[in-house]
Structure 1
Amino acid sequence: MMHVQGNTIDFDTARLKLDQSTKSASTRRKLAKQGSQFETVQRQLLHNLQTTLEVGQVLSLFHKGLQELLQVDALEYKNNADPSPIQVGQPALHRCSYRISHAGNYLGELQFSRQQRFAENELLAIETLLGTLLFPLRNALMYREALRDALNDSLTGTSNRLALNQNLERDIRQSHRSQQPLSLLVLDIDHFKQVNDRYGHAYGDAALKAVANCVTESLRSVDGLYRLGGEEFVVLLNSTSLGAGRMVAERIRKSVENMQFELDGQPIPLTVSLGLATLRAEDNASSLINRGDQLMYDAKRQGRNRVCIEAAQ
């Protein structure tokens, strides 16, 4: 049977414990059972955890320290803001868990596991060493949140042009290395200016969000949706040929056309025009986007609510 020992550790309490641990005779006696290695690991963690702002790397370094001191097999970190937990190592039978907070703010939950049950002095060592983790973990979480804000479009929730520039450059390099196709869709909402002019920008914003959500639901989890500006979006389709990209584009077009969108109870028809381009050997990010953009305008000129693709090379 799995044995789990749970505790709640407040950030400020853990810091206080770290500062005062050497002042308590009973604490010194319990931690002395860990030998001089405890102080060595503590010093290493205080230094090493300050060297990165990546959440996963911070947790890996902390796990490494616990592994050296207590033979902890695995660490698992969960945070309500992330759909998937971070796991380091292989989970084992006996576990102890901690819910971590700072000044009432939730920072996440940590669970440690190993084959042998944790003794009281070992739990004290973990709780004391958590004081070395919490500042770096909080800073890494703040950095990640700031990075997400910088790369996300606040209105639609999609990624923004900065994220597109970064990810497209990366995907082009990967495509050239792996010899896998890379396709790109540029889509624009048809007659969007009329929605803004007739109903106002607040309703126009609602239409933008509705289309973005509809497109997202039509994509695979590995695809990326980016707001290029205004009512124009880009979809990155990794490992996707021209033919497969056309199927995705048609699925998006039909989904938006069939979307039930209403303003004050009045149904408002929305459609999109799409241009599909596939990476060529001589392409860079700008040339690929420009070709997709021109093809999207071709779709507009041909009557809107359609997909235009380039001729196969």
Structure 2
Amino acid sequence: MAANTRTFATHPEATENQLLTLRRAREQWLGADDPVSRLHRRMATTLSLELLLAIFADELSRIVPHGQLTYRHRIGNQEFVYSTGLGGNHRCDYQLTLEGTCYGSLTLTRRRRFAEEELEAIEFLLSVLICPLRNACQYTAVEQAALTDSLTGIPNKRALDMALSRDCSIGDRHGDTCTLILCDLDHFKTINDTHGHVIGDHILQEVAEALRAATREGDGIFRFGGEEFAVLLPHTDFESARDVANRIRDEISNISVSCGQQQVRVTSSAGVATRRRGERPQEWVARADDALYRAKAAGRNCTRIAHALDIDETVS
């Protein structure tokens, strides 16, 4: 069956006029200094949620003076909070929703009441913000997923590699002390072989909770791979890190998972290494891993420390 085809010819002059119109519109858009155009242009330059909110806060402050802007949104397993300025007695709260999905809450506070005209302006600018905000939230979620272990919900090895590089850079610039703990579950393969991977996975999830319980909010916890976990302790020397490692092992030893009529328990071994100035991430990890290997060789369920000057200390 023959098909009907049509050829549409575009007159060269018409194409040239369209291009000229587009060029003029672009120039007007780039040159426009009204709040909406300026906000659109600035927000189109980033997918960073923090930078996007900083841009919005800056543009909003030119129109509606406010004391404090606070944004909250849970993305994956993490609570994202952005706040700038100082608060006041009067506030207005907004739930930022697009197509039935909530992308966080935003609160503005200041010392004097917001006028109706100001509230209208805020709501209009929020309507300009919502689509870029959705894009930034989705980008953050994808970025977070790439750095999160799907089983335990804690950062993965890729996130650890980034954190090690960051802490090495900070340590070399400012001389900050940072200590790495590598923690490995003892005889975990036997648990998997005897009780199955469902029980093994449950134990790994419980270990992640134990790490959270044994560390501070500013410490970094990571699943290094398999049954091995890592903990980064900023501003912590080896003596304090040794106490943390033992606290972690105590928390892990308290884990008990029901398997029929049996309670499955697990112990762990730990290796601790405080970073030397100028040490590269892989060298730092290698010293912590060597300390962990010595803990395993010593009978497991213990901690071994690699001192900064290669002096080994045994800790049961």
Tell me how far apart the structure 1 counterparts of residues 177 and 151 of structure 2 sit (CA, whole Å): 31
- The equivalent residue for 1:64 is 58
Of all paired residues, the percent bearing the same amino acid is 37
* Structure 1 position 141, deviation (Å): 0.8
- The equivalent residue for 1:304 is 300
Tell me how far apart the structure 1 counterparts of residues 193 and 137 of structure 2 sit (CA, whole Å): 41
- Segment of structure 1 superposing worse, 55-64 or 38-47: 38-47
Q: What is the letter of the counterpart of residue 219 of structure 2? A: D
Q: What is the letter of the counterpart of residue 84 of structure 2? A: V
Q: What is the letter of the counterpart of residue 210 of structure 1? A: E
8 Å Cα contact 1:245-1:276 kept in structure 2 = yes
Q: What is the letter of the counterpart of residue 74 of structure 1? A: Q
User: For the pair shown, which has the larger CA radius of gyration, 1 or 2?
Assistant: 2
Describe the superposition over 1:36-79 as per-residue Cα deviations: whole angstroms up to 9, x where unpaired. Answer: xx971111001111112222221221121121122233322222
**Secondary structure of 2:162's aligned partner:** helix
* Structure 1 position 84, deviation (Å): 6.2
**Secondary structure of 2:229's aligned partner:** strand
8 Å Cα contact 1:63-1:74 kept in structure 2 = no
1:277-292 matches, within 5 Å, as 277-292=273-288
Tell me how far apart the structure 1 counterparts of residues 168 and 162 of structure 2 sit (CA, whole Å): 10
Tell me how far apart the structure 1 counterparts of residues 67 and 195 of structure 2 sit (CA, whole Å): 59
- The equivalent residue for 1:203 is 199
Q: What is the letter of the counterpart of residue 40 of structure 1? A: D
1:2-151 matches, within 5 Å, as 40-81=34-75, 83=79, 85-151=81-147
Tell me how far apart the structure 2 counterparts of residues 100 and 281 of structure 1 sit (CA, whole Å): 46
Tell me how far apart the structure 1 counterparts of residues 36 and 96 of structure 2 sit (CA, whole Å): 19
* Structure 1 position 265, deviation (Å): 4.5
* Structure 1 position 255, deviation (Å): 1.9
Describe the superposition over 1:179-208 as per-residue Cα deviations: whole angstroms up to 9, x where unpaired. Answer: 222111111100001011111111111111
Tell me how far apart the structure 2 counterparts of residues 137 and 189 of structure 1 sit (CA, whole Å): 41
Gaps of 5+ in 1: 1-37
* Structure 1 position 309, deviation (Å): 0.9
Tell me how far apart the structure 1 counterparts of residues 110 and 233 of structure 2 sit (CA, whole Å): 42
**Secondary structure of 1:268's aligned partner:** strand
Residue 213 (structure 2) pairs with residue 224 (structure 1):
no
**Number of equivalent positions:** 276
Q: TM-score, normalised by structure 1?
A: 0.83
Tell me how far apart the structure 2 counterparts of residues 256 and 93 of structure 1 sit (CA, whole Å): 46
Q: TM-score, normalised by structure 2?
A: 0.82
Q: Considering Cα pairs closer than 8 Å and 6+ residues apart, tell me whether 1 or 2 has the greater RCO.
A: 1
